[in-house]
Every structure is written in C-alpha cells, then in structure tokens.
Amino acid sequence: MNYDLEERTAKFSEEIIHFVGALVKNEVNKVLANQIIRSATSIGANYMEVNQASSKKDFRNKIGICRKEANETKYWIRMIASANKDKASDCKKYWKESHELVLIFAKIFSSSSKN
C-alpha cells in the first residue's frame, strides 16, 4: 500500500481546523484551538520542508520537528477532550492519528541515523 505522508498530514491539519471550528466558543476553547491549530498544521508544513532538506542534518532536524509537533498535538487533543466531554470520541480519533504520526516520524528519524 502506498502512503502519501504529505497528503496524510495535510488532511489531518484540515480535519483539526474543522473540528476546532465547531467547538463551543468560549475562552478556554479559544486558547486550546489556537494551540492545536498551530501544532497540528506545523506537522504538515514541516514535513513539506523535509522533502526539500538541504542536507542529512537538515532532514533529521525537520523530521524531529514533525515528531515533536505531532506529540504536542496529542497533548492539546487531551486538553480539548478534558474541556469538551461531549467531543471525547472525536478527540480519541484525532489522538490516535497524531500518535501514529509520532511513531512514523520517530521511525523515519531513527532510520535516518543509520544511513
């Protein structure tokens, strides 16, 4: 099966944007929405940069950032779930996807050190 990580990260970002756009408008959700949109969209943006890396060091740095941002996104999803109990099932789905991205980027990062 062929996986397009650029497309996967872009779709994830779009889903997060739509998801937080539908949250109840209040001060807590405003802060959480800003944070998760920054981290979730950063995953894909940095992955786009990975494909244009100027060196192995640059490649590893950008993959590391992708992993870090995916991990941070897991945190913000947890906080959104805590603040919006009615969105727990959606949050579980997004947490799972961000966790899978963390694992993918961790594997790419560790594999890149062996080359």
Mean pLDDT by 10 residues, the chain (115 residues): 81 98 97 98 95 92 97 98 97 98 96 75
List of domains in the chain: 5-112 (1.20.1440.60)
CA–CA dist 33, 90 (Å, integer): 14
Helix axes 27-50, 88-112, angle to 10 degrees: 30
Burial class (CB in 10 A: 0-12, 13-18, 19+), 112: middle
pLDDT score recorded for residue 115: 53
pLDDT score recorded for residue 51: 86
The three-state secondary structure class of 15 is: helix
pLDDT score recorded for residue 3: 63
User: For residues 80 and 91, is the Cβ–Cβ distance under 8 A?
Assistant: yes
pLDDT score recorded for residue 114: 64
pLDDT score recorded for residue 2: 45
pTM score, two decimals? 0.92
pLDDT score recorded for residue 1: 36
CA–CA dist 115, 113 (Å, integer): 6
pLDDT score recorded for residue 113: 78
Q: Give me the phi and psi of 42, to 5 degrees please.
A: -65, -30
